[in-house]
Structure 1
Amino acid sequence: MQAALTVTPAQLPDVLLHVAVVRPVFLWGAPGIGKSSLVQAFAESLGLDCVTLLGTQLAPEDLIGVPQIVDGRSRFAPPENIARDEPYCLFLDELNASAPEVQKAFYSLILDRRIGTYELPEGSVVIGAGNRATDNALARPMASALVNRMVHVHLRASADDWLKWAADHGIHPWIVGYLTQRPDHLWSAAPKVEEPFSTPRGWHMLSDALHSYGQGIDDDMLGVLAHGTLTAAHASAFRAYVKTVRHAYDLDAVLKGDAGWPREPENRDLLYFLAETFRARLIRGLPGSKEHAPPDGRQLAYRAKTLLVELAEISLECAQLVIATGDDGAPVLPSWFLVEVSRDLPRLAAARS
């Protein structure tokens, strides 16, 4: 199921507070962006226990129970973890990954809030969650009858929300610092092959591993951990970022003229990282219109042209990376700046030679 509109993790609790208390909600989202933890936090905020059922690990009898004889008649006895006397949050995780017969077993529970003769206590909430087929995750089509029984909410990863959360949950400062500079690296689409990819969950796992190793972790092991939890490109960039932290070598120093671009062959990964960070800084800092550019925007543009010449002398590929178009082929830097670059760079290069 594709989303026309999405919500961020910060917006989700308010949506659930108003919707999940009156109707079942199905939460769609990519793997690793925090669906499960957000539902558990929501239940906790209401003072409710959160009972999680994994659709991929269920059989129909795990929901409807098994028959027993009562007063000479058979009736189904629902499982103990579902048949509770106090209200609770029933979280049906990976619901759309469950087998069709299991999905059917959910019908009465989702629509009528009952299993056989057992009814969910007043005040209980039912929330389902699952990945999309486009995420290369296990997902089976849901019958229209089941789809129509829930309010569907699509969750997207938000770097701002995650960084605020990270500040209160002990995420490693290297990771917070890196994602503050490169918020676009918090999440990447799942690849079509079996390899790690970047998600909030992956960054959290990397943080735990870094805390376990401590500050003395060497560069090789840092690379092993980063490549084991992140997209390869993000892992290489993060490894280079840590090198800048350890050697007090960052883009601000280059912009101020306190340091130059690294020229050593062994620091080529650092050069690529700084070039990518430089590109991101220009995207954020250059105004769309030169006529309305504030003084700091004009100063950044002036300094950027000189730095591009210096960068091209070391690596033309890195310089091209800074001004390259986006994935859709459209320019990402303001057109006025690109025009000035094409006009002024030959003159600047000649002046330096």
Structure 2
Amino acid sequence: MHAQLTVTPAQLPEVLLNAAVVRPVFLWGAPGIGKSSLVRDFAASLGLDCVSLLGTQLAPEDLIGVPQIVDGRSRFCPPEQIARDEPYCLFLDELNAAAPDVQKAFYSLILDRRIGSYELPPGSVVIGAGNRATDQALARPMASALVNRLVHVHLRASPADWLTWATGHDIHPSVVEYLTQRPDHLWSLPPKTEEPFSTPRSWHMLSDLLHSYGDAAGDETIALLAYATLTPQHAGSFRAYLKVARHAFDLEAIVKGDARWPADPGDRDLLYFLAETFRARLVKDLPADKRHASAAVRQFAFRAKSLLVELAEISLEMAQLVIADDEAGHARLPSWFLVEAARDLPRLVDARA
């Protein structure tokens, strides 16, 4: 399903508070961005138990129940997990990954809040969740009748929200510090091949592994853990970041002129991380229109051109990485800076010579 508008994890509770209490909600989002935990936290905030049903592990009878003879008539008895006397939050996880006959079994539960003769207690809420087909995840088309019975909300990953959450949930300091500098690495598109990829969930896993190993984790161990949980590019960058931290390399010191780019061949991964971080800093700080640049930003842009020359003297590949287009062929850096860099770099090279 295509998302016209999205919400962040911080915005979601208010949406659910006003929507889920009157209509069933379906929460769309990529794998690993926290849909399940957000629903559980929302239920807890209302003082409701959260009963989770996993669509991929259900058969129709798991919802409808089995028939019994009562007073000479058959009566379907829904499972005890669902048939509760007190209000609760019914969370239908991976609903759109369920088989068509299971999805049909949800119809009356979603529309009429009942299964057979059992009705959900007043005050109960029904929330479904699922991944999108574009996320390379298991997802079946939902019948239009089911789609039309749900309020559809699309969730996106938010680095700011996740970092706020992380400070109160014992996330490893190295993970927090890295994502503070590289928030764009919190989430990546699921790959078309079977390999790890970065999500809030995978960063949480890496944090748990780092806590488990403790101070005994050396560079090779960190590399093993990072490549086992993250997108390969992010794993290499995270490994390099820890080397930067341990070797006291710092981009801010390089920008200020208090340090230089690492030039030792053995520090190539450090140089790669610093070059990527430098590019991210340029993308963040340089406005699209030079007329909106303050005096401090113009001074930084001038310094950045000198740093590009210094970087190119060590590795032309790394300097090209800084100014390269993105995967879609679009310029990452503003055109005015690229034009000025092309004009001024020969002069800066001559000045250094």
Whole-angstrom distance in 1 between the partners of 2:24 and 2:262: 56
Paired position in structure 2 for 1:289: 289
Whole-angstrom distance in 2 between the partners of 1:103 and 1:288: 48
What displacement does 1:248 show? Answer: 1.7
SS at 1:141's partner residue?
A: coil
Paired position in structure 2 for 1:228: 228
Whole-angstrom distance in 1 between the partners of 2:63 and 2:165: 35
Letter of the 1:93 partner, please give it: D
In the alignment, structure 1 residue 252 sits paired with structure 2 residue 252: yes
User: Is the deviation greater in 301-310 or in 79-88?
Assistant: 301-310
In the alignment, structure 1 residue 319 sits paired with structure 2 residue 343: no
Paired position in structure 1 for 2:278: 278
In the alignment, structure 1 residue 67 sits paired with structure 2 residue 67: yes
Paired position in structure 2 for 1:136: 136
Letter of the 1:247 partner, please give it: H
Paired position in structure 1 for 2:97: 97
SS at 1:142's partner residue?
A: coil
Whole-angstrom distance in 1 between the partners of 2:169 and 2:213: 18
SS at 2:282's partner residue?
A: helix
In the alignment, structure 1 residue 29 sits paired with structure 2 residue 29: yes
Superposed, which structure 2 residues align to 1:79-118 within 5 Å?
79-118=79-118
Whole-angstrom distance in 1 between the partners of 2:286 and 2:128: 43
* TM-score, reference length from structure 1: 0.98
What displacement does 1:330 show? Answer: 2.5
Paired position in structure 1 for 2:338: 338
Paired position in structure 2 for 1:17: 17
Q: Deviations over 1:71-101 (max 9, x none)?
A: 1111000000100000000000000111111
Paired position in structure 2 for 1:350: 350
The share of aligned pairs that are identical, in percent, is: 76
Whole-angstrom distance in 1 between the partners of 2:35 and 2:342: 46
Paired position in structure 1 for 2:328: 328
Whole-angstrom distance in 2 between the partners of 1:289 and 1:151: 40
Letter of the 2:28 partner, please give it: W
Whole-angstrom distance in 1 between the partners of 2:113 and 2:335: 57
In the alignment, structure 1 residue 42 sits paired with structure 2 residue 42: yes
Paired position in structure 2 for 1:149: 149
SS at 1:91's partner residue?
A: strand
Instruction: Identify if the C-alpha distance between structure 1 residues 155 and 292 changes in structure 2 by more than 3 Å, giving closer, same or farther.
Output: closer
What displacement does 1:311 show? Answer: 0.3
User: Is the deviation greater in 72-81 or in 328-337?
Assistant: 328-337
Whole-angstrom distance in 2 between the partners of 1:255 and 1:294: 17
Letter of the 1:131 partner, please give it: N
Whole-angstrom distance in 1 between the partners of 2:345 and 2:81: 69
Paired position in structure 2 for 1:124: 124
Whole-angstrom distance in 2 between the partners of 1:254 and 1:322: 15
SS at 1:215's partner residue?
A: helix
Whole-angstrom distance in 1 between the partners of 2:338 and 2:192: 35
User: Is the deviation greater in 245-254 or in 21-30?
Assistant: 245-254
What displacement does 1:336 show? Answer: 1.9
Letter of the 2:270 partner, please give it: L
Paired position in structure 2 for 1:161: 161
Paired position in structure 1 for 2:308: 308
In the alignment, structure 1 residue 184 sits paired with structure 2 residue 190: no
What displacement does 1:345 show? Answer: 0.6
User: Is the deviation greater in 299-308 or in 10-19?
Assistant: 299-308
Superposed, which structure 2 residues align to 1:1-12 within 5 Å?
1-12=1-12
What displacement does 1:329 show? Answer: 2.1
Whole-angstrom distance in 2 between the partners of 1:161 and 1:300: 29
SS at 1:106's partner residue?
A: helix
Q: In the comparison of the two structures, how many residue pairs are matched?
A: 353
SS at 2:290's partner residue?
A: coil
In structure 2, list runs of 5 or more residues that go unmatched.
none
What displacement does 1:168 show? Answer: 1.2
SS at 2:333's partner residue?
A: coil
What displacement does 1:293 show? Answer: 2.1
What displacement does 1:338 show? Answer: 1.2
SS at 2:215's partner residue?
A: coil
Q: Deviations over 1:38-93 (max 9, x none)?
A: 00000000000000000011011100000011111110000001000000000000
Letter of the 2:25 partner, please give it: V
In structure 1, list runs of 5 or more residues that go unmatched.
none
Q: Deviations over 1:301-339 (max 9, x none)?
A: 111111100100111111011111223323222222111
Whole-angstrom distance in 1 between the partners of 2:207 and 2:47: 29
